[in-house]
Amino acid sequence: MPHPPRIRAAQIRVILVVVLLLLSVSVTESAIGVNWGSVSFHRLKPSTVVDLLKDNKIQKVKLFDADPDALKALMGSGIQVMVGIPNEMLAPLSSSTAASDLWVRQNVSRYVVKGGVDIRYVAVGNEPFLTSYSGQFQSYVVPALLNLQQSLARANLAGYVKLVVPCNADAYESSLPSQGAFRPELTQIMTQLVQFLNSNGSPFVVNIYPFLSLYGNSDFPQDYAFFEGTSHAITDGPNVYSNAFDGNFDTLVAALNKMGYGQMPIVIGEIGWPTDGASSANLTAARTFNQGLINHVLSNKGTPLRPGAPPMDIYLFSLLDEGAKSVLPGNFERHWGIFSFDGQAKYPLNLGLGNKLLKNARNVQYLPSRWCVANPSHDLSDLANHMKLACSVADCTTLNYGGSCNGIGAKGNVSYAFNSYYQLQMQNERSCDFDGLGMITFLDPSVGECRFLVGVTDTTSSGFAPYERWIIVYVLIVWFFMV
């Protein structure tokens, strides 16, 4: 005959264990993560990047696609992963459950296995509501979400892998945080999105960039972009805002509150400060911003509208510099990394994860220590076309106004351009010719903070850049359904 008291005691013990587990999850889940982008001329081995993440105790990483090389390297690492779906993929995924099944099978199910990749989120698009896109992706977002959710359910992953939509902060607006509201033309779709996120236990993901506010507005008070106090605080009723991050975050909180979801968890999908390519982009400013942000978030102070409740997670933008990114937004676009392209820390930073300082990447495979520079024994007066050619292919953004190499003189500029091209061509001897105006040297021509790089060996096994790969996948999907 059973003994109820013992059963109840056993049940209580089980409940206590479950509660303790849940509490431990809630404490450890909130963390500092990073964005790992791969739009680079000199890509580190994915395994080297994963080792870099582990050495720095970074437990959360966000990818902008489902790069198979990166995902293979992340297998067994224990690092929590957010994989991304590029905006160009939203149309086919929104119109076909077969397409969404195929995507989930190829990019999630195959990796979420024992000893595999801990994929926690799928980012459906990247800032698809951005004003500059003029609504071209808008109608695809919710149908793609619904199809992908069904596909995850069919794969028995719907309870574990959450769908999110990273939004730019331009999705909402207000002169004061407490009056925050989504842009009028987004009200309907944002209502659908937030209802979907809420019903599936997903957070709202937003990208916040105080740097861009400062860069794009000459009247923006510089000290308001940081976390060290300001003489330009914003008073909003009983609340006082001393930094742009809190003001922006609470504007979103108010917008969600207007929809009845004021307690929805919020994840910061991207936030950071570049180190080059603009007058306000430098090592000192980047360190001051990122360290101030980390300290602010980990203090658990929260914001005026969410006191004691900081963002659920924050993904710094970004882990590495990406020298092949478009510079249409500005030359700084290639210099967001807390590490340079070769995994070397740019400045001291305590991520609050156990290490007081960043640890550099190990076992980086460099090309030989040699550089291409302008030959001083030749007339260098007519170099415009050669320099233009080099910089049309390689990254010369540090030479422009506000860049770390802006002050090295005309001959230095030429040498920098020649070397950037030479390294990109994997130090092919002919790529340093420039009609006899270039020469190879074994003496490092770097000057002060202006670093003349040496490339890393090309290790990208797929042979395609991420965007090219997605175009191929897209074509295959279309072909699959036409045959």
Catalytic residues: 127, 270
| Residue (of 273, 125, 146) closest to 209 by Cα position | 273
Q: What is the dihedral of CA 444, 402, 296, 183, to 10 degrees?
A: -130
Report the length, in residues, of the chain: 483
Q: Where are the beta strands (DSSP E) in 24-171?
A: 32-36, 60-63, 80-85, 118-124, 162-164, 167-168
For helices 141-154 and 187-199, give the axis angle rounded to 10 degrees. 10
d(CA 50, CA 254): 38
d(CA 364, CA 425): 18
d(CA 418, CA 385): 12
Task: Tell me if 32 sits within 8 A of 351, measured CB to CB.
Answer: yes
d(CA 295, CA 57): 17
Which DSSP symbol is given to 264?
-
CA R_g for the chain: 24
List beta partners, residue 206. 167, 268
**Burial classification of residue 415, based on how many CB atoms lie within 10 Å of its CB (0-12 exposed, 13-18 middle, 19 or more buried):** buried
d(CA 64, CA 84): 4
| Residue (of 100, 254, 249) closest to 167 by Cα position | 249
